[in-house]
Structure 1
Amino acid sequence: MPAVELSSVGKVYGYGPSAMVALNDVGLSIEPGRFVSLIGPSGCGKSTLLRIVAGLEAADRGTVRVHDVSPEEACAAKLIGFVPQSPALLPWLPVLGNVTLPQKINRDAPSRRERIGQLADHGRGKTQPDMMALLIRAGLGDAIHKLPAQLSGGMQQRAAIVRAFGLQPDVLLMDEPFSALDEFTRESLQDQLLDLWDELKTTVLFVTHSVSEAVRMSDTVVVMAPRPGRIVDLIDIDLPRPRNQRLFEERRFHEYEDLIRDRLHSAWRSTDAA
Protein backbone atom coordinates (compact mmCIF):
# COMPACT_ATOMS: atom_id res chain seq x y z
CA MET A 1 0.00 0.00 0.00
CA PRO A 2 1.41 3.44 -0.91
CA ALA A 3 2.07 5.79 1.98
CA VAL A 4 0.72 8.68 -0.13
CA GLU A 5 -1.32 8.39 -3.31
CA LEU A 6 -2.73 11.22 -5.41
CA SER A 7 -4.86 10.60 -8.47
CA SER A 8 -5.96 13.32 -10.94
CA VAL A 9 -5.74 15.99 -8.26
CA GLY A 10 -6.78 19.50 -9.25
CA LYS A 11 -6.99 22.78 -7.37
CA VAL A 12 -8.24 26.15 -8.64
CA TYR A 13 -8.19 29.47 -6.81
CA GLY A 14 -10.75 32.10 -7.81
CA TYR A 15 -13.48 32.07 -10.44
CA GLY A 16 -14.04 33.01 -14.06
CA PRO A 17 -11.32 34.68 -16.16
CA SER A 18 -9.22 35.46 -13.09
CA ALA A 19 -9.16 31.87 -11.85
CA MET A 20 -5.71 30.40 -11.27
CA VAL A 21 -5.12 26.68 -11.77
CA ALA A 22 -2.73 25.81 -8.93
CA LEU A 23 -2.69 22.07 -9.68
CA ASN A 24 -3.85 20.22 -12.76
CA ASP A 25 -4.27 16.44 -13.03
CA VAL A 26 -1.53 15.62 -10.51
CA GLY A 27 -0.84 11.95 -9.91
CA LEU A 28 1.82 10.64 -7.53
CA SER A 29 2.40 7.44 -5.58
CA ILE A 30 4.94 7.27 -2.74
CA GLU A 31 5.98 3.98 -1.18
CA PRO A 32 6.42 3.77 2.61
CA GLY A 33 9.80 4.86 3.96
CA ARG A 34 10.79 6.86 0.87
CA PHE A 35 12.23 10.37 0.94
CA VAL A 36 10.61 12.30 -1.93
CA SER A 37 11.29 15.95 -2.80
CA LEU A 38 9.12 18.35 -4.78
CA ILE A 39 11.08 20.94 -6.74
CA GLY A 40 10.01 23.62 -9.18
CA PRO A 41 9.71 27.39 -9.60
CA SER A 42 7.46 29.53 -7.44
CA GLY A 43 3.83 29.16 -8.46
CA CYS A 44 4.03 25.54 -9.57
CA GLY A 45 1.86 24.26 -6.71
CA LYS A 46 4.43 22.55 -4.47
CA SER A 47 3.15 23.99 -1.21
CA THR A 48 -0.47 23.63 -2.33
CA LEU A 49 0.10 19.94 -2.99
CA LEU A 50 1.71 19.55 0.43
CA ARG A 51 -1.18 21.31 2.16
CA ILE A 52 -3.70 19.09 0.39
CA VAL A 53 -1.88 15.95 1.56
CA ALA A 54 -1.80 17.46 5.08
CA GLY A 55 -5.55 18.02 5.02
CA LEU A 56 -5.09 21.79 5.39
CA GLU A 57 -6.77 22.39 2.02
CA ALA A 58 -9.21 20.34 -0.02
CA ALA A 59 -8.64 19.34 -3.63
CA ASP A 60 -11.31 20.50 -6.06
CA ARG A 61 -11.14 17.18 -7.87
CA GLY A 62 -9.29 13.89 -7.75
CA THR A 63 -8.48 11.70 -4.76
CA VAL A 64 -5.84 11.89 -2.03
CA ARG A 65 -5.11 8.93 0.25
CA VAL A 66 -2.61 8.56 3.08
CA HIS A 67 -2.13 4.88 3.90
CA ASP A 68 -5.49 4.35 2.17
CA VAL A 69 -7.48 6.78 4.33
CA SER A 70 -8.37 10.43 3.74
CA PRO A 71 -5.98 13.15 4.91
CA GLU A 72 -8.54 14.14 7.55
CA GLU A 73 -8.61 10.61 8.99
CA ALA A 74 -4.83 10.37 8.82
CA CYS A 75 -4.44 13.68 10.67
CA ALA A 76 -6.89 12.62 13.37
CA ALA A 77 -4.78 9.51 13.99
CA LYS A 78 -1.57 11.59 13.90
CA LEU A 79 -0.24 9.64 10.94
CA ILE A 80 0.88 12.95 9.42
CA GLY A 81 3.50 15.35 10.77
CA PHE A 82 3.95 18.81 9.28
CA VAL A 83 7.02 21.09 9.43
CA PRO A 84 6.33 24.56 7.94
CA GLN A 85 8.89 27.09 6.72
CA SER A 86 8.88 28.87 10.10
CA PRO A 87 9.30 26.75 13.26
CA ALA A 88 6.06 28.03 14.91
CA LEU A 89 7.25 27.22 18.43
CA LEU A 90 5.18 28.44 21.38
CA PRO A 91 7.19 31.38 22.77
CA TRP A 92 6.25 30.79 26.42
CA LEU A 93 7.39 27.16 26.51
CA PRO A 94 11.01 25.99 26.72
CA VAL A 95 12.37 23.65 24.06
CA LEU A 96 11.51 20.49 26.00
CA GLY A 97 7.98 21.74 26.63
CA ASN A 98 7.49 22.55 22.93
CA VAL A 99 8.62 19.18 21.64
CA THR A 100 6.68 17.12 24.23
CA LEU A 101 3.42 19.09 23.96
CA PRO A 102 2.01 17.12 20.98
CA GLN A 103 2.37 13.85 22.93
CA LYS A 104 0.50 15.33 25.89
CA ILE A 105 -2.46 16.66 23.90
CA ASN A 106 -2.78 13.71 21.50
CA ARG A 107 -2.94 10.78 23.90
CA ASP A 108 -5.75 9.12 21.94
CA ALA A 109 -3.78 9.05 18.67
CA PRO A 110 -2.65 5.39 19.12
CA SER A 111 -6.25 4.20 19.58
CA ARG A 112 -7.32 6.16 16.50
CA ARG A 113 -4.57 4.43 14.53
CA GLU A 114 -5.93 1.08 15.70
CA ARG A 115 -9.39 1.99 14.42
CA ILE A 116 -8.11 2.62 10.88
CA GLY A 117 -8.27 -0.97 9.69
CA GLN A 118 -5.01 -2.00 8.08
CA LEU A 119 -3.19 0.84 9.81
CA ALA A 120 -3.29 -1.17 13.03
CA ASP A 121 -0.02 -2.68 11.81
CA HIS A 122 1.54 0.80 11.63
CA GLY A 123 0.65 1.68 15.22
CA ARG A 124 1.46 -1.69 16.71
CA GLY A 125 4.73 -1.96 18.58
CA LYS A 126 5.38 1.79 18.58
CA THR A 127 6.45 3.20 21.92
CA GLN A 128 6.67 6.82 22.92
CA PRO A 129 10.04 8.12 21.69
CA ASP A 130 12.54 9.46 24.18
CA MET A 131 12.29 13.17 23.42
CA MET A 132 15.38 13.99 25.46
CA ALA A 133 17.35 11.52 23.38
CA LEU A 134 15.98 13.01 20.15
CA LEU A 135 16.90 16.51 21.29
CA ILE A 136 20.43 15.39 22.10
CA ARG A 137 20.68 13.68 18.69
CA ALA A 138 19.63 16.98 17.12
CA GLY A 139 22.31 18.91 19.02
CA LEU A 140 19.87 20.56 21.43
CA GLY A 141 20.89 18.85 24.66
CA ASP A 142 22.13 22.13 26.16
CA ALA A 143 19.05 24.08 25.09
CA ILE A 144 16.17 22.06 26.57
CA HIS A 145 15.30 24.72 29.16
CA LYS A 146 15.72 27.72 26.85
CA LEU A 147 12.83 29.65 25.35
CA PRO A 148 12.54 29.91 21.55
CA ALA A 149 13.62 33.59 21.63
CA GLN A 150 16.94 32.48 23.13
CA LEU A 151 17.68 30.14 20.20
CA SER A 152 19.18 30.75 16.78
CA GLY A 153 17.05 30.17 13.70
CA GLY A 154 18.76 26.84 13.08
CA MET A 155 18.16 25.66 16.63
CA GLN A 156 14.49 26.64 16.43
CA GLN A 157 14.09 24.65 13.22
CA ARG A 158 15.81 21.65 14.79
CA ALA A 159 13.34 21.82 17.67
CA ALA A 160 10.44 21.94 15.19
CA ILE A 161 11.75 18.83 13.40
CA VAL A 162 12.16 16.94 16.68
CA ARG A 163 8.63 17.97 17.66
CA ALA A 164 7.28 16.58 14.36
CA PHE A 165 9.11 13.28 14.84
CA GLY A 166 7.84 13.07 18.42
CA LEU A 167 4.49 11.57 17.43
CA GLN A 168 6.26 9.13 15.11
CA PRO A 169 4.17 10.08 12.08
CA ASP A 170 3.98 7.63 9.23
CA VAL A 171 4.24 10.55 6.79
CA LEU A 172 6.26 13.71 7.45
CA LEU A 173 5.50 16.75 5.27
CA MET A 174 8.15 19.48 5.16
CA ASP A 175 7.65 22.82 3.40
CA GLU A 176 11.10 24.33 2.71
CA PRO A 177 12.14 24.00 6.37
CA PHE A 178 15.71 25.19 5.73
CA SER A 179 15.06 28.01 3.26
CA ALA A 180 15.79 30.85 5.71
CA LEU A 181 19.08 29.42 6.98
CA ASP A 182 22.67 30.07 5.93
CA GLU A 183 24.42 27.40 3.86
CA PHE A 184 26.49 25.93 6.72
CA THR A 185 23.50 25.62 9.07
CA ARG A 186 21.39 24.24 6.25
CA GLU A 187 23.86 21.44 5.51
CA SER A 188 24.19 20.64 9.23
CA LEU A 189 20.41 20.31 9.57
CA GLN A 190 20.27 18.17 6.43
CA ASP A 191 22.68 15.77 8.14
CA GLN A 192 20.59 15.63 11.30
CA LEU A 193 17.32 15.20 9.43
CA LEU A 194 18.74 12.34 7.36
CA ASP A 195 20.04 10.66 10.53
CA LEU A 196 16.61 10.85 12.19
CA TRP A 197 14.84 9.73 9.02
CA ASP A 198 17.18 6.75 8.60
CA GLU A 199 16.53 5.71 12.22
CA LEU A 200 12.74 6.19 12.27
CA LYS A 201 11.95 5.12 8.66
CA THR A 202 9.29 7.79 8.19
CA THR A 203 7.96 8.57 4.72
CA VAL A 204 8.98 12.15 3.87
CA LEU A 205 7.50 14.54 1.31
CA PHE A 206 9.85 17.52 1.18
CA VAL A 207 9.43 20.83 -0.67
CA THR A 208 12.60 22.63 -1.75
CA HIS A 209 13.88 25.21 -4.24
CA SER A 210 17.44 23.88 -4.00
CA VAL A 211 18.58 21.39 -6.62
CA SER A 212 21.57 20.32 -4.49
CA GLU A 213 19.36 19.78 -1.46
CA ALA A 214 16.90 17.70 -3.48
CA VAL A 215 19.65 15.44 -4.84
CA ARG A 216 21.33 15.00 -1.48
CA MET A 217 18.19 14.20 0.49
CA SER A 218 15.98 12.27 -1.85
CA ASP A 219 15.21 8.82 -3.14
CA THR A 220 13.04 10.46 -5.80
CA VAL A 221 12.84 14.06 -7.03
CA VAL A 222 9.49 15.22 -8.42
CA VAL A 223 9.97 18.04 -10.93
CA MET A 224 7.03 20.46 -11.23
CA ALA A 225 6.16 23.27 -13.62
CA PRO A 226 3.73 26.22 -13.34
CA ARG A 227 0.73 27.55 -15.29
CA PRO A 228 -0.87 25.17 -14.55
CA GLY A 229 0.92 23.48 -11.66
CA ARG A 230 1.79 19.96 -12.74
CA ILE A 231 4.33 17.17 -12.46
CA VAL A 232 6.63 16.96 -15.49
CA ASP A 233 9.18 14.35 -14.39
CA LEU A 234 10.14 11.85 -11.68
CA ILE A 235 13.87 11.31 -11.20
CA ASP A 236 15.10 8.46 -8.99
CA ILE A 237 18.37 9.29 -7.20
CA ASP A 238 20.59 6.21 -7.20
CA LEU A 239 23.28 7.33 -4.77
CA PRO A 240 24.52 5.36 -1.74
CA ARG A 241 23.45 6.23 1.80
CA PRO A 242 24.41 7.64 4.21
CA ARG A 243 25.04 10.77 2.18
CA ASN A 244 27.70 12.79 3.92
CA GLN A 245 29.60 15.88 2.85
CA ARG A 246 31.88 13.88 0.54
CA LEU A 247 28.89 13.29 -1.70
CA PHE A 248 29.33 16.83 -3.07
CA GLU A 249 32.65 15.76 -4.59
CA GLU A 250 31.22 12.84 -6.58
CA ARG A 251 30.65 13.14 -10.31
CA ARG A 252 27.29 11.31 -10.16
CA PHE A 253 25.96 13.87 -7.67
CA HIS A 254 26.63 16.71 -10.11
CA GLU A 255 25.22 14.69 -13.01
CA TYR A 256 21.91 14.44 -11.13
CA GLU A 257 22.05 18.19 -10.45
CA ASP A 258 22.53 18.86 -14.16
CA LEU A 259 19.70 16.47 -15.09
CA ILE A 260 17.23 18.15 -12.73
CA ARG A 261 18.22 21.63 -13.88
CA ASP A 262 17.73 20.52 -17.50
CA ARG A 263 14.24 19.20 -16.68
CA LEU A 264 13.38 22.45 -14.88
CA HIS A 265 14.56 24.55 -17.85
CA SER A 266 12.61 22.34 -20.26
CA ALA A 267 9.47 22.80 -18.16
CA TRP A 268 9.95 26.58 -18.23
CA ARG A 269 10.42 26.58 -22.00
CA SER A 270 7.26 24.55 -22.53
CA THR A 271 5.32 26.91 -20.23
CA ASP A 272 6.55 30.00 -22.09
CA ALA A 273 5.72 28.41 -25.45
CA ALA A 274 2.18 27.69 -24.30
Structure 2
Amino acid sequence: MRSVHRVYGFGPSATNALDGVDLTVPPGRFVSLIGPSGCGKSTLLRLVAGLERPDRGEVRVHGVTPAQACAAKMIGLVPQSPALLPWLSVLRNVTLPQKINRGAAGRRERIGGFEKRQVPDMRDLLVKAGLGEAMHKLPAQLSGGMQQRAAIVRAFGLRPDVLVMDEPFSALDEFTRESLQDQLLDLWDELKTTVLFVTHSVSEAVRLSDTVVVMAPRPGRIVETIDIGLPRPRGERLFKERRFHEYEDLIRDRLRHAWHGAAA
Protein backbone atom coordinates (compact mmCIF):
# COMPACT_ATOMS: atom_id res chain seq x y z
CA MET A 1 0.00 0.00 0.00
CA ARG A 2 1.38 3.40 -0.99
CA SER A 3 -0.14 6.64 0.34
CA VAL A 4 -3.57 5.01 0.57
CA HIS A 5 -6.57 7.14 1.52
CA ARG A 6 -10.13 5.88 2.00
CA VAL A 7 -12.99 8.21 2.95
CA TYR A 8 -16.61 7.29 3.67
CA GLY A 9 -19.31 9.92 3.22
CA PHE A 10 -19.09 13.55 2.15
CA GLY A 11 -18.61 16.97 3.66
CA PRO A 12 -18.47 17.57 7.42
CA SER A 13 -19.84 14.09 8.18
CA ALA A 14 -17.14 12.29 6.15
CA THR A 15 -15.08 9.63 7.95
CA ASN A 16 -11.41 9.43 7.07
CA ALA A 17 -11.04 5.64 7.43
CA LEU A 18 -7.44 5.51 6.16
CA ASP A 19 -5.12 8.48 5.77
CA GLY A 20 -1.83 8.14 3.91
CA VAL A 21 -1.22 4.50 4.78
CA ASP A 22 2.02 2.87 3.63
CA LEU A 23 2.52 -0.84 4.26
CA THR A 24 4.81 -3.43 2.67
CA VAL A 25 4.47 -7.12 3.56
CA PRO A 26 7.18 -9.51 2.31
CA PRO A 27 5.95 -12.86 0.90
CA GLY A 28 5.37 -15.60 3.45
CA ARG A 29 5.05 -13.29 6.47
CA PHE A 30 2.29 -13.48 9.06
CA VAL A 31 1.26 -9.89 9.82
CA SER A 32 -1.41 -8.88 12.34
CA LEU A 33 -3.25 -5.54 12.39
CA ILE A 34 -4.36 -4.32 15.82
CA GLY A 35 -5.87 -1.09 17.05
CA PRO A 36 -8.97 0.57 18.53
CA SER A 37 -12.32 0.20 16.79
CA GLY A 38 -12.65 2.60 13.88
CA CYS A 39 -8.93 2.73 13.05
CA GLY A 40 -9.39 1.22 9.58
CA LYS A 41 -8.18 -2.36 10.08
CA SER A 42 -11.07 -3.99 8.22
CA THR A 43 -11.02 -1.26 5.57
CA LEU A 44 -7.37 -2.05 4.92
CA LEU A 45 -8.22 -5.75 4.51
CA ARG A 46 -11.09 -4.99 2.13
CA LEU A 47 -8.79 -2.90 -0.03
CA VAL A 48 -6.22 -5.70 -0.25
CA ALA A 49 -8.98 -8.24 -0.96
CA GLY A 50 -10.36 -6.11 -3.80
CA LEU A 51 -13.72 -5.56 -2.09
CA GLU A 52 -13.17 -1.78 -2.11
CA ARG A 53 -10.95 0.66 -3.96
CA PRO A 54 -8.89 3.47 -2.42
CA ASP A 55 -9.89 7.09 -3.02
CA ARG A 56 -6.22 7.92 -3.48
CA GLY A 57 -3.03 5.92 -3.43
CA GLU A 58 -2.07 2.51 -4.74
CA VAL A 59 -2.65 -1.09 -3.62
CA ARG A 60 -0.69 -3.89 -5.26
CA VAL A 61 -0.55 -7.63 -4.59
CA HIS A 62 2.59 -9.17 -6.10
CA GLY A 63 2.75 -6.23 -8.49
CA VAL A 64 -0.84 -6.36 -9.79
CA THR A 65 -4.11 -4.78 -8.67
CA PRO A 66 -6.27 -6.63 -6.12
CA ALA A 67 -8.88 -7.19 -8.86
CA GLN A 68 -6.29 -8.92 -11.06
CA ALA A 69 -5.00 -10.91 -8.08
CA CYS A 70 -8.54 -12.06 -7.20
CA ALA A 71 -9.20 -13.11 -10.79
CA ALA A 72 -6.07 -15.26 -10.58
CA LYS A 73 -7.15 -16.77 -7.22
CA MET A 74 -4.13 -15.24 -5.54
CA ILE A 75 -6.16 -13.92 -2.58
CA GLY A 76 -8.11 -15.91 -0.01
CA LEU A 77 -10.53 -14.42 2.51
CA VAL A 78 -11.66 -15.67 5.93
CA PRO A 79 -14.39 -13.36 7.32
CA GLN A 80 -15.61 -13.09 10.91
CA SER A 81 -18.44 -15.56 10.23
CA PRO A 82 -17.72 -18.83 8.37
CA ALA A 83 -20.25 -18.18 5.54
CA LEU A 84 -20.57 -21.89 4.67
CA LEU A 85 -23.33 -22.97 2.28
CA PRO A 86 -25.83 -24.77 4.56
CA TRP A 87 -26.99 -27.32 1.95
CA LEU A 88 -23.48 -28.61 1.18
CA SER A 89 -21.37 -30.95 3.28
CA VAL A 90 -18.15 -29.67 4.81
CA LEU A 91 -16.12 -31.43 2.11
CA ARG A 92 -18.20 -29.96 -0.69
CA ASN A 93 -18.01 -26.51 0.89
CA VAL A 94 -14.22 -26.52 1.04
CA THR A 95 -13.77 -27.94 -2.49
CA LEU A 96 -16.28 -25.58 -4.13
CA PRO A 97 -13.79 -22.70 -4.76
CA GLN A 98 -11.55 -25.06 -6.77
CA LYS A 99 -14.43 -25.66 -9.18
CA ILE A 100 -15.10 -21.97 -9.82
CA ASN A 101 -13.06 -19.67 -12.10
CA ARG A 102 -11.08 -22.45 -13.73
CA GLY A 103 -9.19 -19.88 -15.82
CA ALA A 104 -7.48 -18.51 -12.71
CA ALA A 105 -4.37 -20.69 -13.13
CA GLY A 106 -3.71 -19.25 -16.56
CA ARG A 107 -4.13 -15.70 -15.28
CA ARG A 108 -1.68 -16.39 -12.46
CA GLU A 109 0.88 -17.80 -14.92
CA ARG A 110 0.55 -14.70 -17.11
CA ILE A 111 1.27 -12.49 -14.10
CA GLY A 112 4.55 -14.43 -13.84
CA GLY A 113 7.14 -15.05 -11.17
CA PHE A 114 5.30 -17.95 -9.49
CA GLU A 115 5.89 -21.65 -9.26
CA LYS A 116 3.11 -23.85 -10.57
CA ARG A 117 0.61 -24.30 -7.78
CA GLN A 118 -0.31 -27.82 -6.71
CA VAL A 119 -3.93 -28.39 -5.71
CA PRO A 120 -3.91 -29.68 -2.13
CA ASP A 121 -5.76 -32.79 -1.01
CA MET A 122 -8.75 -31.22 0.73
CA ARG A 123 -9.54 -34.40 2.64
CA ASP A 124 -6.02 -34.34 4.02
CA LEU A 125 -6.33 -30.67 5.02
CA LEU A 126 -9.62 -31.38 6.78
CA VAL A 127 -8.01 -34.22 8.72
CA LYS A 128 -5.10 -31.94 9.72
CA ALA A 129 -7.63 -29.36 10.91
CA GLY A 130 -9.39 -31.94 13.08
CA LEU A 131 -12.40 -32.26 10.77
CA GLY A 132 -11.78 -35.76 9.41
CA GLU A 133 -14.89 -37.22 11.03
CA ALA A 134 -17.01 -34.17 10.15
CA MET A 135 -16.25 -33.80 6.44
CA HIS A 136 -19.55 -35.37 5.33
CA LYS A 137 -21.70 -33.45 7.81
CA LEU A 138 -23.69 -30.30 7.09
CA PRO A 139 -22.54 -27.00 8.65
CA ALA A 140 -25.56 -26.95 11.01
CA GLN A 141 -24.27 -30.18 12.57
CA LEU A 142 -20.98 -28.54 13.58
CA SER A 143 -20.00 -26.29 16.47
CA GLY A 144 -19.01 -22.69 15.80
CA GLY A 145 -15.33 -23.55 16.16
CA MET A 146 -15.59 -26.42 13.69
CA GLN A 147 -17.41 -24.21 11.18
CA GLN A 148 -14.66 -21.61 11.42
CA ARG A 149 -12.04 -24.34 10.97
CA ALA A 150 -13.82 -25.38 7.78
CA ALA A 151 -13.76 -21.77 6.54
CA ILE A 152 -9.99 -21.62 7.14
CA VAL A 153 -9.44 -24.90 5.30
CA ARG A 154 -11.58 -23.61 2.40
CA ALA A 155 -9.39 -20.49 2.12
CA PHE A 156 -6.10 -22.42 2.37
CA GLY A 157 -7.42 -24.93 -0.17
CA LEU A 158 -7.02 -22.33 -2.92
CA ARG A 159 -3.31 -22.12 -2.06
CA PRO A 160 -3.65 -18.33 -2.09
CA ASP A 161 -0.54 -16.20 -2.26
CA VAL A 162 -2.15 -13.81 0.24
CA LEU A 163 -4.71 -14.77 2.89
CA VAL A 164 -6.69 -11.98 4.59
CA MET A 165 -8.45 -12.86 7.85
CA ASP A 166 -10.84 -10.44 9.57
CA GLU A 167 -11.10 -11.40 13.26
CA PRO A 168 -11.95 -15.02 12.43
CA PHE A 169 -11.85 -16.16 16.07
CA SER A 170 -13.62 -13.22 17.72
CA ALA A 171 -16.88 -15.07 18.46
CA LEU A 172 -15.21 -18.14 20.02
CA ASP A 173 -14.42 -18.99 23.63
CA GLU A 174 -10.81 -18.76 24.77
CA PHE A 175 -10.10 -22.51 24.74
CA THR A 176 -11.50 -22.96 21.21
CA ARG A 177 -9.68 -19.83 20.09
CA GLU A 178 -6.30 -21.14 21.26
CA SER A 179 -6.97 -24.52 19.63
CA LEU A 180 -7.73 -22.85 16.30
CA GLN A 181 -4.61 -20.71 16.63
CA ASP A 182 -2.60 -23.95 16.83
CA GLN A 183 -4.25 -25.37 13.72
CA LEU A 184 -3.92 -22.10 11.80
CA LEU A 185 -0.19 -21.98 12.57
CA ASP A 186 0.23 -25.61 11.50
CA LEU A 187 -1.48 -24.96 8.13
CA TRP A 188 0.39 -21.69 7.60
CA ASP A 189 3.74 -23.34 8.42
CA GLU A 190 3.07 -26.02 5.81
CA LEU A 191 1.73 -23.78 3.03
CA LYS A 192 3.78 -20.59 3.70
CA THR A 193 1.01 -18.24 2.61
CA THR A 194 1.34 -14.51 3.28
CA VAL A 195 -1.25 -13.65 5.95
CA LEU A 196 -2.88 -10.35 6.91
CA PHE A 197 -4.78 -10.95 10.15
CA VAL A 198 -7.04 -8.50 12.00
CA THR A 199 -7.43 -9.01 15.74
CA HIS A 200 -8.33 -7.11 18.92
CA SER A 201 -6.38 -9.59 21.07
CA VAL A 202 -2.82 -8.58 21.98
CA SER A 203 -1.92 -12.14 23.04
CA GLU A 204 -3.24 -13.55 19.76
CA ALA A 205 -1.26 -11.01 17.74
CA VAL A 206 1.99 -11.81 19.55
CA ARG A 207 1.51 -15.57 19.35
CA LEU A 208 0.68 -15.72 15.66
CA SER A 209 2.68 -12.96 14.04
CA ASP A 210 6.05 -12.21 12.55
CA THR A 211 5.03 -8.54 12.59
CA VAL A 212 2.33 -6.59 14.46
CA VAL A 213 1.05 -3.37 12.88
CA VAL A 214 -0.45 -0.95 15.42
CA MET A 215 -3.11 1.40 14.08
CA ALA A 216 -4.84 4.50 15.46
CA PRO A 217 -8.20 6.11 14.56
CA ARG A 218 -9.42 9.55 13.49
CA PRO A 219 -7.90 9.40 10.95
CA GLY A 220 -7.09 5.71 10.46
CA ARG A 221 -3.33 5.32 10.21
CA ILE A 222 -0.38 3.11 11.08
CA VAL A 223 1.53 4.37 14.12
CA GLU A 224 4.06 1.57 14.66
CA THR A 225 5.29 -1.69 13.19
CA ILE A 226 6.71 -4.21 15.68
CA ASP A 227 8.64 -7.31 14.62
CA ILE A 228 8.07 -10.30 16.93
CA GLY A 229 11.38 -12.07 17.48
CA LEU A 230 10.03 -15.23 19.10
CA PRO A 231 11.07 -18.68 17.85
CA ARG A 232 8.68 -20.99 16.04
CA PRO A 233 6.82 -23.28 16.49
CA ARG A 234 4.84 -21.36 19.12
CA GLY A 235 3.05 -23.82 21.36
CA GLU A 236 1.37 -23.32 24.73
CA ARG A 237 4.70 -23.02 26.54
CA LEU A 238 5.11 -19.64 24.85
CA PHE A 239 2.56 -18.14 27.26
CA LYS A 240 4.96 -18.78 30.16
CA GLU A 241 7.98 -17.08 28.59
CA ARG A 242 9.09 -13.64 29.75
CA ARG A 243 9.75 -12.37 26.21
CA PHE A 244 6.18 -13.17 25.19
CA HIS A 245 4.82 -10.95 27.95
CA GLU A 246 7.35 -8.22 27.17
CA TYR A 247 5.96 -8.06 23.63
CA GLU A 248 2.42 -7.96 25.04
CA ASP A 249 3.37 -5.05 27.31
CA LEU A 250 5.05 -3.19 24.43
CA ILE A 251 2.03 -3.51 22.15
CA ARG A 252 -0.41 -2.52 24.92
CA ASP A 253 1.71 0.57 25.59
CA ARG A 254 1.61 1.52 21.90
CA LEU A 255 -2.15 0.92 21.81
CA ARG A 256 -2.65 3.19 24.83
CA HIS A 257 -0.70 5.94 23.08
CA ALA A 258 -2.75 5.39 19.90
CA TRP A 259 -6.03 5.58 21.85
CA HIS A 260 -5.09 8.65 23.92
CA GLY A 261 -3.74 10.43 20.87
CA ALA A 262 -7.04 9.85 19.06
CA ALA A 263 -9.06 10.99 22.09
CA ALA A 264 -7.00 14.19 22.34
Shorter-chain TM-score above 0.5: yes
SS in 1 for 2:127: helix
Give structure 1 regions of 4+ aligned residues with deviation exceeding 2 angstroms: none
Deviations 1:182-211 (A, max 9, x none): 000000000000000000000000000000
Amino acid in the other structure paired with 1:239: L
Amino acid in the other structure paired with 1:16: G
5+ residue gaps, structure 1, are 1-5
Cα distance in 2, alignment partners of residues 126 and 80 from structure 1: 13
5+ residue gaps, structure 2, are none
Map of 1:170 onto structure 2: 161
Deviations 1:44-63 (A, max 9, x none): 00000000000001100000
Amino acid in the other structure paired with 2:176: T
Deviation at 1:106, TM superposition (A): 2.7
Cα distance in 1, alignment partners of residues 50 and 208 from structure 2: 24
Map of 1:188 onto structure 2: 179
Map of 2:144 onto structure 1: 153
Please state if 1:125 is matched with 2:120: no
Cα distance in 2, alignment partners of residues 57 and 166 from structure 1: 24
Cα distance in 1, alignment partners of residues 27 and 47 from structure 2: 18
SS in 2 for 1:56: coil
Amino acid in the other structure paired with 1:252: R
Q: CA RMSD in A?
A: 0.7
Please state if 1:69 is matched with 2:61: no
Alignment of 1:40-119 (within 5 A): 40-116=35-111
Cα distance in 1, alignment partners of residues 247 and 104 from structure 2: 40
Instruction: Return the TM-score normalized by structure 2.
Output: 0.99
Map of 2:200 onto structure 1: 209
Deviations 1:150-205 (A, max 9, x none): 00000000000000011100000000000000000000000000000000000000
Deviation at 1:269, TM superposition (A): 1.6
Map of 1:3 onto structure 2: none
Amino acid in the other structure paired with 1:121: G
Amino acid in the other structure paired with 2:14: A
SS in 2 for 1:205: strand
The alignment covers a number of residue pairs equal to: 264
Deviation at 1:107, TM superposition (A): 1.9
Match of 1:30 among 20, 25, 28: 25
Percent sequence identity over aligned pairs: 78
